[in-house]
Structure 1
Amino acid sequence: MASPLFLCILLVVFGSYLSTISAAGDGHFRHKMSAPPPQSYDTRMFLSVTPRPDRAGAAAPLVHRHGPCAKSPSTDKPSSFAEALHRSRVRADYIMSRALRGRDTTTTIEMQEQEGKVSIPAHLDTSVDSQEYVVTLGLGTPAVEQVLLMDTGSDLSWVQCAPCNSTDCYPQKDPLFDPRKSSTYAPIPCGSDLCKSLQSDHFDNGCSMNGNGTQSQCGYRVEYGGGLKTRGVYSNEALTMAPGVVIKDFHFGCAYKQIGSDDKSDGLLGLGGAPESLPVQTSAVYGGSFSYCLPPVSSGTGFLALGAPSNTSGFSFTPMTPFMDYATFYLVKLTGISVGGKQLRIPPKVFEGGLIVDCGNIISHLPSTPYAELQSAFRAAMAAYPLIPSDEYDTCYNFTGYSNITVPKVALTFTGGVTVDLDVPNGVLLDGCLAFTESGLDDYVGFLGNVQMRTLEMLYDVRGGRLGFRAGAC
């Protein structure tokens, strides 16, 4: 019997052949249904598989947390479409309510620490319940592997730290990171500029008390929309992206108190546009650019890479800006949609709100008119297959008894005439359902979710103000 590691390598190399999809010449793809891979894997292996970005920068393997190459597959089951839709809507609604509410309305909370009492402002961040992709990095010296949720909608990174008992931290599969065993760990002083900047960015600048009654360590607190709250010490540490590629003095949260259950990871890696994020912290070395490729659930590894490739000729670029005055979120403008090779008739003005590019949002959200046109055209192309009646979702199919499925190609066109063909079926269907939903009225901001990003390399050239797409990257 083949080992799990061998099976994972086969998935990485031959993943595109696990399901047979052939061009039909009519704007559609023929998809031959095949059984999913087994869901039992060796939790000891991870960095055995080499990531594939063509660059001389820092790169790490990236996997779906339910995928065959996950180091520690999550104990919960993969989300059904109904669950994914609910989580995606909660996250989108939370981001939008936060934007409309404004950052200045954060509340003040009282925290009672063992060393003393400290009053700090709470920062509400985006929901983590919808996060599906994880990256394994090394933290500390010697480096200890940490499996972190990857989020372009968050900035401050954190891990659970020892000592932390089961009542203060949620159970995780890997040992807690122990800063006492690292020669490069250092808490950030509360009077430092780094700590003060947390106040301006609405994370914290709370200070804990040490044994002699003086304030010494910078505290942080983040409250997420899904109910998870994390707090601890803002710290410096060495972060290993790949063998021999070490980021010194990486600022992160060493968490000693968590509220809300979560067994999906050891922590979170923030890839947003604010100063606390990994890309901004490393901008002096990597120019603030980063990219990733999200593999389908049943395939092997993708990658997360810092820095831009030396050759970007394989990318198509569209302008990218921050969302309103929020440095965290990345916004692009959609200008058109095609189904089966035919451009849909959609007035350009309905796209004015733009799309937030959010790898933590599972499903893409479109304004009402574009969504209605996409849904109608997709249903017409899929008329041979029975729709599943439901009050919760409206474009899901019963493929029972069908060995070959004809799925129409769906393409998104962005500002500058950049047309991106979504991977079929992984970038179009989720659990047999069209992986799009309605965001609200026309001109309302939408979201580009992680299903539509699958197999694409997404290159965030922040300084250049552009987002790049490269097909077939993982």
Structure 2
Amino acid sequence: MLYSPTPAAGIAGLGRGPASLPSQLAFKKFSYCLLSRLFDDTNKSSSLVLVGGKDSFKKTKGVSYTPFVKNPEVPGKRAFLTYYYVGLGRITVGGRRVKIPYRYLRPDKNGSGGTMVDSETTFTHMAPEVFERVAGEFEKLMKGYKRAEEVEALTKLRPCYNFSGIETPAFPRVTFHFKGGAEMALPEENYMMAGGEVQCFTILSDNVPVISSGPSIILGSFQMQNYHVEYDLQNERFGFKQQQCN
């Protein structure tokens, strides 16, 4: 599902299931470009493009691709078959590799672990075991700034910082590195959210340990703002490139 500034009149499912829009219309590729959330209060909308025929085989100029990962087949959990799993190999913060145990980066036979892409999820979610490592590295590199703990308690986002009197705070770059060499180096507005003098990290955890409950990481729409995002079903690959979506 794609977000829109106007109230939804329905839901366009884009998953791998037989009821999804691409499946029903037999499209082999679709893409979208999500507007910055700064346009939420305007009449602008994000774009969705469905592609069929010979154009399904073409590589889009400037797009970096990573192969889709095979979906886990777990009895009683057919939802896993509708997800789009990607091979996230590592995460770096400020150029430093975050030490994430391999079991969280690939789905096992029970469907636990791995990374999926979901435009319906707003903020990227991580299992606590992954989030604590990513946020911990971010906090180390931001130790010179004042924490806004009262905002953290209110919003459940962490970490948050008070930049009163600081015009241009410096943030460590957060980068997702995928199988095949594709890299998504997020711009600051895709992982920090401002509210007055306070800014908060917009990757979060639901604090429920992963046992057999699904992906360890869900890449959300906030992190994909101003990206052309492509699901190439014909060639079983996920692609993206940073661009202005307005």
Give the structure-2-normalised TM-score: 0.75
The AA in structure 1 aligned to 2:88 is L
State yes or no: 1:133 paired with 2:15. Answer: no
Contact in 2 for aligned 1:323/1:330 (Cα 8 Å): no
* Structure 2 counterpart of 1:230: none
Q: CA RMSD in A?
A: 2.6
SS of the residue corresponding to residue 218 of structure 2 reads strand
The AA in structure 1 aligned to 2:224 is M
Within the candidate set 2, 14, 35, 1:295 is matched to: 35
Contact in 2 for aligned 1:365/1:448 (Cα 8 Å): yes
Structure whose residues are more often strand by fraction: 1
State yes or no: 1:428 paired with 2:191. Answer: yes
Cα distance in structure 2, aligned partners of 1:276 and 1:291:
18
**Quick one: percent identity of the two aligned structures?**
29
Contact in 2 for aligned 1:336/1:348 (Cα 8 Å): no
* Structure 1 counterpart of 2:221: 450
Q: 1:301 deviation in Å?
A: 5.1
Contact in 1 for aligned 2:57/2:235 (Cα 8 Å): no
* Structure 2 counterpart of 1:318: 66
SS of the residue corresponding to residue 406 of structure 1 reads coil
Task: Tell me the matched-pair count.
Answer: 213
The structure that has the greater radius of gyration is 1
The AA in structure 2 aligned to 1:461 is D
* Structure 1 counterpart of 2:166: 402
SS of the residue corresponding to residue 407 of structure 1 reads coil
Q: 1:412 deviation in Å?
A: 0.5
The AA in structure 2 aligned to 1:273 is R
Q: 1:273 deviation in Å?
A: 1.9
Q: 1:398 deviation in Å?
A: 2.0
Moved more, 436-445 or 327-336: 436-445
- Residue by residue over 1:391-425, the C-alpha shift from the partner in whole angstroms, topping out at 9 and shown as x without a partner, is 43431122333221212211011223322111x22
SS of the residue corresponding to residue 265 of structure 1 reads coil
Q: Which has the higher contact order (CA 8 A, sep 6+)?
A: 2
State yes or no: 1:272 paired with 2:43. Answer: no
* Structure 2 counterpart of 1:304: 48
* Structure 2 counterpart of 1:184: none
Cα distance in structure 1, aligned partners of 2:157 and 2:58:
43
Cα distance in structure 1, aligned partners of 2:201 and 2:59:
34
1:49-88 map, 5 Å: none
* Structure 2 counterpart of 1:372: 132
Cα distance change, pair 380–455 in 1 and its aligned pair in 2 (3 A): same
State yes or no: 1:417 paired with 2:178. Answer: no
Q: 1:442 deviation in Å?
A: 5.8
State yes or no: 1:464 paired with 2:235. Answer: yes
Contact in 2 for aligned 1:344/1:373 (Cα 8 Å): yes
Q: 1:342 deviation in Å?
A: 2.1
What 5-or-longer segments of structure 2 have no aligned partner? 107-112
Cα distance change, pair 303–313 in 1 and its aligned pair in 2 (3 A): same
Cα distance in structure 1, aligned partners of 2:101 and 2:16:
31
* Structure 1 counterpart of 2:86: 332
Q: 1:473 deviation in Å?
A: 4.8
What 5-or-longer segments of structure 1 have no aligned partner? 1-130, 136-146, 148-263
Cα distance change, pair 331–323 in 1 and its aligned pair in 2 (3 A): farther
